């Protein structure tokens, strides 16, 4: 049975660099023989966690929005890839809100083991993504069977859609997906 890979693109901007690269990673994952899917958070109804913690007993969220469907796919994936633009050296707000809302997964059995991060940013360098990696690791640490497996750092992308004009970056994202 093929490994299930779920890529979640969290940018809500049209022609976003992170979604362009996430789509390239998806192509690589499919070409590697994985059962792969990309979910874009663009146009999804994702509300803020209320902090009621009812989900810890019921394993369901009291909020009825698009997170329930996304959560089912996260739970059943073997490998997760979270693609995010870096804003102020951190995960984008849409991704952080989704991670908060995945709280009902904590007491459940889940399939994911390897969790990756794909980033795009104006600036280049590992220091640009350090806090984003730390933020994702804070979420991963709540899942004893999961581990942070690595990063694709797409730094140096300044303009909307610029990733599509950089064959070397597209190829690197494709190879990243192939190696998941």
**pLDDT tens digits, residue range 69-114?**
999 999 999 999 999 999 999 999 999 999 999 999 999 999 999 9
Query: What pLDDT is attached to residue 1?
Result: 82
Query: What pLDDT is attached to residue 76?
Result: 98
Burial of residue 21 (CB within 10 Å: 0-12, 13-18, 19+) is: buried
CB 18 within 8 A of CB 118: yes
> Domain locations in the chain?
4-178
Query: What pLDDT is attached to residue 175?
Result: 98
> Is the confidence at residue 31, as pLDDT, over 90?
yes
CB 94 within 8 A of CB 10: yes
> Is the confidence at residue 44, as pLDDT, over 90?
yes
Model pTM greater than 0.95? yes
The tokens for 92 are 């984008």
> Is the confidence at residue 65, as pLDDT, over 90?
yes
Query: What pLDDT is attached to residue 58?
Result: 94
Query: What pLDDT is attached to residue 78?
Result: 98
Tell me the CATH number of domain 4-178, given options 3.30.750.24, 2.102.10.10, 3.30.420.40, 3.40.50.360.
Answer: 3.40.50.360
> Is the confidence at residue 158, as pLDDT, over 90?
no
Which tens digit of pLDDT belongs to each residue from 103-131?
999 999 999 999 999 999 999 999 999 99
- Tell me how far apart the alpha carbons of residues 54 and 57 are, in angstroms, rounded to a whole number: 6
The tokens for 27 are 């192509």
> Is the confidence at residue 25, as pLDDT, over 90?
yes
């Amino acid at each position: 049975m093929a490994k299930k890979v779920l890529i979640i693109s969290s940018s809500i901007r049209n022609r976003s660099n992170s979604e362009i690269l996430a789509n390239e990673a998806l192509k690589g994952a499919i070409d590697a023989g994985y059962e792969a899917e990309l979910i874009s958070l663009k146009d999804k109804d994702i509300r803020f966690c209320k902090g009621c913690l009812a989900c810890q007993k019921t394993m369901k969220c009291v909020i009825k929005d698009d997170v329930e469907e996304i959560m089912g796919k996260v739970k059943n994936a073997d490998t997760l890839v979270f693609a995010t633009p870096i804003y102020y050296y951190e995960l984008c707000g849409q991704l952080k809100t989704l991670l908060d809302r995945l709280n009902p997964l904590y007491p459940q059995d889940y399939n994911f083991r390897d969790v990756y991060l794909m980033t795009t940013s104006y600036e280049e360098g590992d220091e640009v993504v350090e806090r984003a990696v730390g933020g994702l690791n804070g979420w991963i640490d709540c899942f004893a069977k999961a581990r942070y497996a690595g990063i694709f750092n797409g730094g140096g992308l300044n303009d909307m859609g610029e990733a599509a004009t950089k064959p070397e970056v597209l190829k690197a994202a494709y190879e990243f997906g192939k190696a998941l």
